Amino acid sequence: MEAEIHYRQIPLLRPLVALVIGILLARIKSVPPSAWIFVVWALAWLSMAKLRHVRFADQPLWGVLVGLFFLSIGFVRSSFQQERYPVLTDSIHLVQIEDYPVHKGNWLQCRSHLVTSGKGLMLYLRSPGPSSGLLPGSLLRVKGVPDRISNPGNPFEFDYKGFMNRQGIGYNLFLQPSAYQILPQSAGFNWVARSMIFRHWMIQQIFRSGISEEKANLIGSIAFGERSGIDKETIRSFTNTGVIHVLAVSGMNIAMVFVVLQYIFGLLRRYRPGSFIYLSIVLSGIWGYALLTGMSASIMRAAAMATFVLLGSAIKKEAGIMQAWVVSAFCLLIVDPDMLWDVGFQLSYAAVIAIVLWQPPIARWFHFNHWFPEKVWALMAVTLAAQAGTLPLTLHYFHQFPLYFWLANLLIVPVISLILYLSFVVIALYALHPVLAIPFSWLLNLFTTWVIYVVRAVDHLPAAVLRFGSLSDLQILSLTLTFLFLWMFVRLRRAGNLQMAFGCLLIFFGSSLVQRFQLTHKSEMVFFHVPGSRVLTLIQGTHACIVYDDQRLNYARVSHYIDPYLVHEQIHHIDEFWMAGSLEAGEKGLHRIGDQISFQGMHVRMMRRHLSDAKAELSEDDLMIWEPVDVSDPVQQSTSGRLWLKSGSGHQETDTFPFRWLLLDKAVRMKKEHSGGNGTWQNQAENLF
């Protein structure tokens, strides 16, 4: 039986919890950072004066002080992190490219940074233009004011701003060919740019070795984390089969780098000075590989854990996986608190802790006398543990569960290790002479073909994916506590833990039933922000009527903007209508007179006139209408409007939103509250956004 783990064996566990709580509290922003600094340091000096002759470990006040200290560190670091991208006003900038440009329609997308401040910038260059010679490290002089990255403002949308900020990018800038110039000089040596050039060279070696483009792009993602060449359909298949993790460089890749370096330089450890050289080489190789693959959250977690394990071994203090897990998370969050909100960070750490806690008891379910089924079951135990640990996050973020994840992982994961090793062998041998790489390139092509075949075959099995609606915070918490109490029951064999697990499971299903009832009895009206147009969605239960004011629009073109809302609200039936088209009276609960649409007692007028010009046409019922603040120039590039509600007694201004071309730049959601009678419509814009 595995050894018991006590929290006292993991010194940084409690500071890590306090740090995470501080980062969470920073989202509330109820206390200014200066207050936390004052309180904590005042407590620190008072406590040091009182306890300077007493062992700190024996004083409860010392534990409270340490907890408050790290809580304040998390709060202050996260608060300052959120304000790291101020509004820019200068129109001339020097910009350095960090990665190879990627074509996005008629634009070239270039990840870059401002040379003067180091702030990350996503640059979009109009194509064609003088950009064919752009490489990582290229220097540009650009004319334009970068905009801070923002979200469109639609309900339950992907937090694009937060995602880009966590990648170190806070601004974007669109430029025509005449607005930028490629400079001949360089801004100096840049490690990131050099690593991207080296990664590109290595991937090109795989292309030149005779492997097809589809398979070479897949190898580039598996070995180096370069996903730009993989089509959306392939990524969807990997997601649906539960093996998307193989496309994200992580612990398996770091283990491969460690094994190779240990095999080559392991003899150095036999000599006293050689141990330091060996440790320096291995750590440099691990973090060099992490830099080469883009420093994603999963690879940084694996590299940090490996670093602390190796350092512990070097000083003759063995560091277990739990200790390395805690220390690595603590250090990464101290450096970048926003990493806590990264999905890859959450999934990576959840998978590791689940494997540590769950894999041993699952492995004991079966025992085989032959080595092959024993190894197969050991791999299956790891897969089951990781899937159980990440299940709440998977349902929360992706709203689906891959039913055959166990089969896909069993058939693919062993082959992925071979692909990793063979990819580096092919790169090295092809650089020496192309003929040397032929047999290994053939094997690499064969294994990659197998991976693609298995993924597509499993994806086409019946009921390969179970789809769910969005989970509430209560459901996520109850499901997580269910697995935690089940683990405690398996380890401690106490009936109380099993009862708590069933209680949490009942809360999960009970809240699911309540949520389902609320969703099937709702009436809502949502104006979505779709650049260049307006989309009105009318919701009755699980049925949605989408109304467009532009004949060129359809669901396929606007799904990116409205799908998060439809998935969250578990909408199963969709009908589409166009303002310029025909609409039968009362069809799908809709009524239209001119530019007015009526739905469930709510009347919406989609107009481009001033409110004062339309007062005579307004009814006594509730009315939602957009009034331009400045109508002197109806086609001005940027203006704003006010949302008005009319409820018999008069007009009431509810909020002011910016919009372009007299169209919405932020979604507005109206919900009918059934408090009695037919209910009243309530504006939820302030609650959601």
Q: What is the pLDDT of residue 683?
A: 42
Q: Which residues contact 654 (CB under 8 A, 6 or more apart)?
A: 642, 643, 644, 645, 683, 685
What are residue 123's phi and psi, to 5 degrees? -100, 130
Q: What is the pLDDT of residue 527?
A: 76
Q: What's the pLDDT band for 581 if we cut at 50, 70, 90? A: low
How far is it, in rounded angstroms, from Cα 411 to Cα 159?
34
Q: What is the pLDDT of residue 628?
A: 39
Q: Which residues are bridge partners to 103 per DSSP?
A: 108
Which tops the pLDDT comparison, 663 or 613? 613
**Nearest 5°: CA angle at 304, between 298 and 306?**
105
Taking alpha carbons only, the member of 359, 357, 377 closest to residue 368 is 377
Q: What is the pLDDT of residue 19?
A: 87
Q: What is the pLDDT of residue 316?
A: 63
Would you say 208 and 218 are in contact if contact means Cβ atoms under 8 Å apart?
Answer: no
Q: What is the pLDDT of residue 358?
A: 84
Residue 139 is inside which H or E element, if any? strand 139-143
Q: Which residues contact 668 (CB under 8 A, 6 or more apart)?
A: 526, 527, 624, 643, 657, 683, 685
What are residue 523's phi and psi, to 5 degrees? -130, 120
Q: Is the peptide bond before 155 cis (omega within 30 degrees of 0)?
A: no
Which tops the pLDDT comparison, 676 or 324? 324
Q: What's the pLDDT band for 455 if we cut at 50, 70, 90? A: very high
Rounded percentage of the chain residues whose pLDDT exceeds 90: 7
Residue 434: strand, helix, or coil: helix
If you search the block for the tokens 């992490």, which residue do you land on?
Answer: 290
Q: What's the pLDDT band for 621 if we cut at 50, 70, 90? A: very low
> How many beta carbons lie within 10 A of that of residue 201, not counting itself?
11
Tens-digit pLDDT profile for residues 76-120: 788 776 667 888 888 888 888 888 888 887 888 888 888 888 888
Q: What is the pLDDT of residue 582?
A: 54
Q: What is the pLDDT of residue 610?
A: 47
How far is it, in rounded angstroms, from Cα 311 to Cα 305?
10
Rounded percentage of the chain residues whose pLDDT exceeds 70: 74
If you search the block for the tokens 């897949």, which residue do you land on?
Answer: 218
The whole-model pTM stands at 0.77
How far is it, in rounded angstroms, from Cα 114 to Cα 86?
13
Residue 648 in this model has a pLDDT that exceeds 90:
no
Which tops the pLDDT comparison, 369 or 53? 369
Tens-digit pLDDT profile for residues 367-424: 888 888 888 898 899 999 888 888 888 888 888 889 899 999 999 988 998 999 999 9
Which tops the pLDDT comparison, 622 or 179? 179
Residue 601 in this model has a pLDDT that exceeds 60:
no
How far is it, in rounded angstroms, from Cα 21 to Cα 599?
44
